[in-house]
């Protein structure tokens, strides 16, 4: 069993037939789960990770390269959904006003056997 954290979930993360449950989390619940979760984030998302840290005090370690994971029964993925942050064109970080205006959502996706 492994716990992961990332910004999205994809069909390519699964092999075979599995069942998935999803539940929303508060920022405090997400922060409690974060230390044990393995990061599956893209290094190009460092500005978004910095915004998450500045707003909620949640930090995600950034790997050198984006890992490829395969979720199996017993695994979970903490998904951080972010809406409202503008594209960073010609700069490398968000303003505090942009971070406060963005919508951060947290959900836990748990994988089970399909049978």
Say how far apart CA 82 and CA 106 lie, in whole Å.
Answer: 9
Please report the pLDDT score of residue 115 as a whole number: 67
| 66-94 residue pLDDT tens | 889 999 999 999 999 999 998 888 777 89
Instruction: Please tell me the pTM assigned to this model.
Output: 0.89
- Residues of the chain predicted below pLDDT 50: none
For residue 55, give the 3-state DSSP assignment. Answer: helix
Q: Which of these, 75, 49, 71, lies nearest to 62 by C-alpha position?
A: 49
Please report the pLDDT score of residue 16 as a whole number: 86
Give every CB contact of residue 42 below 8 A, 6+ residues apart in sequence: 7, 66
């Amino acid at each position: 069993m492994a716990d992961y954290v990332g910004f999205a979930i994809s069909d390519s993360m699964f092999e075979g037939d599995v069942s998935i449950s999803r539940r929303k989390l508060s920022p405090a619940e997400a922060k409690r789960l974060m230390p044990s979760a393995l990061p599956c984030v893209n290094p190009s998302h460092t500005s978004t990770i910095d915004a998450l840290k500045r707003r909620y005090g949640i930090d995600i370690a950034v790997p050198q390269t984006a890992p490829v994971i395969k979720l199996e029964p017993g695994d979970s993925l903490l998904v951080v959904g972010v809406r409202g942050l503008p594209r960073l064109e010609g700069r490398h970080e968000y303003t505090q006003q942009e971070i406060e205006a963005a919508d951060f959502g947290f959900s836990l996706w748990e994988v089970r056997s399909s049978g």
